A and B are shown apart, each in its own frame.
Chain A
Amino acid sequence: MTTVESPATRQYPPTYRPSTLQRILPFAIAAVVPFVLGATTGDVVFWWKALITVVVLAVVARLAWKWTPRGELTHREDMRLWRTPGDRSWAAATTFGLLVLPFILASDFTPPMDFPWATWFAVVNLVLIFAMGAAAFNLLVGYSGQISLAHVAFLALGSIVGGIVGVQWSGGNMWLALPAAAVAGAVVGAISGLPALRLKHLYLLLATFGFHFVMMLVWREYLQEYFGFVGIRFKGENSPRIASWLHWLPGIDPDQNGEFVITGQFRWYWVIMPITVLSILFMVNVVRTREGRAFAAVRDRDVSASLLGINVARSKLMAFAVSSAVVAMSGTLASFYIGSRGEDSFNVQTVLNYAIIIVVGGFSSIQGAIFGSAFFWFLPEWFKWAREELWFVRDIDFLSDYPSEIDLAIKGFLVVVILMFKPDGLAGMWRDCKGWLGRRLAGSSR
C-alpha cells in the first residue's frame, strides 16, 4: 500500500535562514558564468556551451529557491524585492539570462531553419529601450491613474535634449545628455501634469494629447532651425563613446584610433540593458515606498488620500515628473541607439503603440511593460520568419501578398483575445504561471 503524503509534510522546514554567503552565491554564479562562457573561445563547441548554459540556469534557479529565508520573516526580510523562493529563483534566472543573452546572440551560430539570430539582437535592444519607456508610462497611466497620451511628446523631448546637449554642445556625449533629459523631462512633465489638477479621465486624455501636438510643433521647429529636413544624426562622429579615463575597465579595449565607440548591437546591449534594469528597479522601488503608495491612493480615491495627509496635487505632479523623466531618458537613449531622428520619427501611431504595449503587458504593473514591449517587437519578427521559413505558411500567397496588414490584424486579434480573457494582461498571465509553478515545486521538492 502506498502512503499518501500530504503537501504539508513534503514542504521545507517551516523556519530556515540561509547564511549571507548562501544568499549571494546563486546571484554571484549567475553574474560570473556568462563572462567566463563569453571569454572561452576556440575548441569549445557551441553545443557544449549551450549545455553548460542550461545547466547553470537550472542550478542557479534551484539554489536561489533553496536558500531563501522561510517562516516568520523579519520586517527587513519581508521588505526584500525577492522575498519568496519563487521570486528569488526567477530573479537569479533573469540575472543569468540577461547576462548570457548577448553572448548567445553575438555568436555566429545559426539555428535551424534560419531563425534570424542577428536581427533578433537589434530587436532585443529595442525591446529593452521600449520597456523602459513603457514602464515609466505605465507608472503614470496605470499605477498612478493619470490618463495621459503625452509620452511620445517626452520621447521627442528626449531627442531634443539629446540633440542640444548630446550633439550640439558636446558632439556625442550621451552620458551628459541622459541626466539632462531626466531633468528636462521632470520639469516639463510636471508642467504637462498641471491639467491633471483639474481634469480627469477623458478630459485629461484630451488635454495631454494637446500637449503632444504642442511638443510635435516644438520638435519640427527645432529640427528645421538647426538640422534641416534630414534630421539629427546621432551616429558617426556623434556616436557615444567611453571616455578614455575609463578604458581600464574590463572588456573595453579601444579601437585603433584609441577610442571606444559604442556601435554594434553587442556594445549597445551593455549600455541599454543596465540603464533599463536600473530605471525599472528605481520605479519599482518608488512604487513600494511612501510616495509610490501615495500615487496608488490618489488613483483609487483622492478624497480618502487627502484625508491621510497626502497633498493630492503635489502627488499627481510628482507622478507626472518621475514618469516623464524616465520616458525622456528612454527617448534620448533610443535616439542615440537608432542613430537618427527626423521629422516623422514621432507620430500618433507611436502613441498608440505604447498604449498597446502597456495594455497588453498589464495595466498598472510596471513589469508588465517588459512583456508588452517584447510582445510588440517579437511578434512581427516571428511572423516574418514564419512567412519565410515555415513551409505550410510560405505557400499561402495571400499571407505574403499583404504582410503588414496581416501582421496588424493578427496583432489586433491577439490584443483583443488577451484582454478578454486576461484583463491584467501578460503580466497577469505570468503571475498565474509563477503561482502555479511555485505551488507545484513547493509540493514536490524535498
Chain B
Amino acid sequence: MSEPILSFDDLTVQFGGVRACDSISGRVDRGSLFALIGPNGAGKTTLVNTISGVYKPLAGATVHFHPDGKPVEDLLTYRPYQIARLGVARTFQNLGLFMGENVLTNLLLGRYIHENTRLISGGLFTRGAVKRELAAREAIERVVELLDLGEFKRDPVGDLPYGVQKRIEFGRVLAMEPELLMLDEPMAGMSVDEKQDMIRFIYAAQDELNTTVFLIEHDMGVVMSIADHVMVLDFGQKIAEGTPAEMQRDERVIAAYLGTEMAEN
C-alpha cells in the first residue's frame, strides 16, 4: 500500500576498528514519521550522515531515494550538496548553524537551492536578482511565522538561547522544502514545553509541506507518541523494528535501554 521514499540495504560504515553501522537495512515510507532510536554511540548519527552523503559506506551497500514522480536515485553516487538538491535535508545533533550570521541570513541559506541568482547578477543587484531575493524572503516568512522567530530576525544566531537556535535550524531545513527531512535529536536539551512546540512544528511540516520525517530521538515518550515506525540500533546493529507499541514490548529493546540506564546511574 505505502510506497517507500528511502530504502537502504546492507549499509556498513567503519571507522578504523569501529563498525558504527553494521549491515543495516530499512525503508522509510512516504509521508510517515520514521523514528530511529538507540543508546549513545549506537550509530544513529552515522546512519544519517551516510544517507546524506557525508560518509561513504563499505562496498555492497545501497541507498535509494524515491523522489515523487521521478525515477529512483542511487544516493551513493552523489555528493552531499547534490543529495540536498534532490530533496533530502537534515539537521545536526550539535547544530549546523552559522553562528556569526543573523537569523535572516541563516534562514535564507535554506533557500539556496531554490533561488538561482548568480554571483554577477547578485553583485549588480539586477531587477531579476531583487525579484528572486524578495521571493526567497517571502518563502522564509512562512517559516518565521510558523516557528515564531520574527523578533529575532536581525540577531546573530550565536547570541540566542539554545532552544531558539534549535528552532532556527529546524526552520532552515523547512525553508529547503525537502521531500525527506532528517532530524538528528531536534529536541535534545529542551524543556517539556519546548519539546511540545517542536512536536507541533514537526506535524505542521508534515501537513503543510508533505514532508516525510526521519527522526532521531532519545526521549522514548516522544517517540512512542508520534512515530509511525521505529527502528532501534545498538552498537551499530539493528536490533528491532516495528510500531512503537511493538518496540515497547520487545525484550532486546528493553535490555538495550535498561543497559544504558544502568550504566548511566
Contact = CB atoms under 8 A, between A and B. Distances in A.
Interface of A: 75-76, 78-79, 282-283, 285-286, 289-294, 296-297, 300-301, 303-312, 318, 322
Top-4 shortest CB links A-B: A289-B122, A304-B96, A309-B113, A309-B84
B92 A309 contact: no
13 contacts: A282-B124, A283-B123, A290-B122, A290-B132, A291-B117, A292-B119, A296-B98, A301-B98, A306-B79, A307-B52, A307-B89, A308-B176, A322-B123
A75 B137 contact: yes
A310 B123 CA distance: 18
Given A296-B98, A308-B109, A309-B84, A75 B52 contact: no
A307 B172 contact: no
Contact of A306 (B81, B97, B129): B81
A185 B24 CA distance: 50
Interface stretch (B10-18, B99-107, B200-208): B99-107
B105 A285 contact: no
A79 to B, nearest CB: 6
Contacts of A79: 130, 133-134, 137
A286 B122 contact: yes
B118 interface: yes
Contacts of A294: 109, 112
Given A285-B124, A289-B129, A300-B101, A306 B84 contact: yes
B80 interface: yes
B119 A297 contact: no
Given A303-B54, A312-B81, A289 B125 contact: yes
A307 B80 contact: yes
B108 interface: yes
Interface string B78-97: 01110111000110100011
Given A79-B133, A291-B118, A296-B98, 13 more contacts: A75-B141, A76-B134, A79-B134, A285-B122, A285-B123, A289-B125, A289-B129, A291-B122, A297-B98, A300-B98, A303-B54, A306-B79, A308-B109
Contacts of A300: 98-101
A78 B129 CA distance: 15
Given A285-B122, A296-B101, A308 B134 contact: no
B43 to A, nearest CB: 18
Contact of B84 (A286, A292, A307): A307
The main secondary structure of chain A at its interface with chain B is helix
Q: Which of A289, A294, A296 has the most CB of B within 10 A?
A: A289
User: How big is the B interface, by class?
Assistant: 35 or more
B138 interface: yes
Q: Which of B112, B116, B119 has the most CB of A within 10 A?
A: B119
B171 interface: no
Interface string B186-224: 000000000000000000000000000000000000000
Given A289-B129, A303-B54, A310 B81 contact: yes
B92 A304 contact: yes
B110 interface: yes
Nearest to B87: A309
Q: Which of B105, B129, B130 has the most CB of A within 10 A?
A: B105
Contacts of B100: 296, 300
Contacts of B105: 293, 296
B211 to A, nearest CB: 16
Contacts of B80: 303, 306-307
Contacts of B96: 301, 303-304, 307
A78 B112 CA distance: 19
B159 interface: no
B241 to A, nearest CB: 26
Nearest to A279: B123
B134 A290 contact: no
B83 to A, nearest CB: 8
B115 interface: yes
B54 A304 contact: no
Q: Which of B83, B113, B125 has the most CB of A within 10 A?
A: B125
A282 B110 CA distance: 23
B81 A322 contact: no
A294 B84 CA distance: 14
A200 to B, nearest CB: 17
A301 B94 CA distance: 12
B110 A291 contact: no
B183 to A, nearest CB: 13
Given A285-B123, A286-B119, A300-B99, A307 B137 contact: no
Given A289-B133, A293-B109, A307-B89, A322 B101 contact: no
Nearest to B83: A307
A95 B115 CA distance: 33
A77 to B, nearest CB: 11
Nearest to B169: A304
B7 to A, nearest CB: 21
Contacts of B52: 307
Interface in B149-204: 172, 176
A282 to B, nearest CB: 4
Nearest to B88: A307
A311 B134 contact: no
Contact of A291 (B81, B119, B130): B119
A297 B79 CA distance: 17
